[in-house]
Amino acid sequence: MKTHLNAISRKAGVQRRSQLVNLLIEELLGGPVPRSEGAAARTGPASARA
């Protein structure tokens, strides 16, 4: 299972499983997913990840 998830993540161009889930949700909803304040504090500003 881990090998399959790694291959899917690599093809999607993401490094973490959470990024993959976020990408899938955005695709299904047709737009970006709003971030909560707690998530932003744990991961830092979005510009730092880009």
Determine the pLDDT at residue 11: 93
Determine the pLDDT at residue 14: 92
Determine the pLDDT at residue 26: 87
The Cα 8–Cα 2 span in angstroms is: 10
Q: What is the pLDDT of residues 19-48, one digit of tens each?
A: 988 888 888 888 776 777 665 555 555 544
The answer to whether residues 8 and 2 touch, using CB atoms and an 8 Å cutoff, is no
Element (H, E) at 9: helix 2-12
- CA distances from residue 37 to 5, 11, 13, 44 in whole angstroms, order as listed: 28, 29, 25, 10
Q: Backbone phi, then psi, for 30, in 5-degree steps?
A: 80, 20
